Each structure stands twice: as structure tokens, then as C-alpha cells.
Amino acid sequence: MAKKRMFSLDVVDTDDFLEMPSAAQALYFHLGMHGDDDGFVANPRKITRAIGCTSADMQALISKGFVIPFESGVIAIRDWRINNDLKNDRYRPSLYTEEKEALLLDDSKRYILDTYCFQSGSDLETEHNVTQPNVT
């Protein structure tokens, strides 16, 4: 994991960010320091507890859209690509490929959930054929 991270004023100097409680703002910075090179944090609950924040602070980040939670417990920092720009020779791909595949980059380099592709292959249901009964 890298030891240096950046934060853009385009993200942290917005009204949405500054109107959050200071604990939620601090949590965002700590999560940013622990993100992998694609902006994924594997242990957000541990970091939240370690710095004395609460689940309400994490919920503030989620509800304002600064982080994207996944069922696996991993979170993605929405503005990661705005905050950080790594050289190709230093980049290490995220281990969280399934979560990464569920995200798209919008025109402003923000992660957004790809709701069209968000269904995992193991959760697919059998399609029912209208003309013939399914055999189970």
C-alpha cells in the first residue's frame, strides 16, 4: 500500500463535504489514506472504530455519496480518481475485482454504480420459458 495520498479541494472544499460533521470529514481522510490504488478500503469498520468515529459518521459519508458501500463490507471512495493520479509504473490493481467491475467512471472521473451489471453470476435465476414448462 502506498504511503502518500492526495486530496483535491474540488472534493473537500465543497458545501456537501464541509456541512458534514467534522468526525465524518476526518473519517473520509483516514479512509483515503488506507485506500488501495483504485480507491477501495477493505476494513472501513476497523478504521472507523480506530479513530473514534461512529457508524453515523460512516452513514453520513454514504448518504452524501462520498463512499460507495458493497455487501462484502468493502467501500469505494467515489472521488478517488479526482483525488489521486498514480503513474503507471507505481499502480497496483485492486484485489477487489468484483466490486470494481460494478463501478463505472463518469465524465468527471467519479465512480458510479453500474446498476445494469450489478447482478453477480451466482445470483442469476432460471428464466422461465413461456412455451414450455421448466423442469427442476
- Residues whose CB falls within 8 Å of the CB of residue 93, separated by 6 or more in sequence, listed in order: 37, 38
Say if residues 48 and 58 touch (Cβ distance below 8 Å). Answer: yes
Q: What is the pLDDT of residue 90?
A: 80
Write down the domain spans for the chain: 9-119
**Tens of pLDDT, residue by residue, the chain (136 residues):** 567 789 999 999 999 999 999 999 999 999 999 999 999 999 999 999 999 999 999 999 999 999 999 999 999 999 999 998 877 778 888 999 999 999 999 999 999 998 775 455 555 554 555 555 555 5
| Whole-number Å distance between alpha carbons of 9 and 12 | 5
Nearest to 43 by CA among 120, 102, 95, 118: 95
- Residues whose CB falls within 8 Å of the CB of residue 130, separated by 6 or more in sequence, listed in order: none
Sign of CA dihedral 5, 108, 97, 63: positive
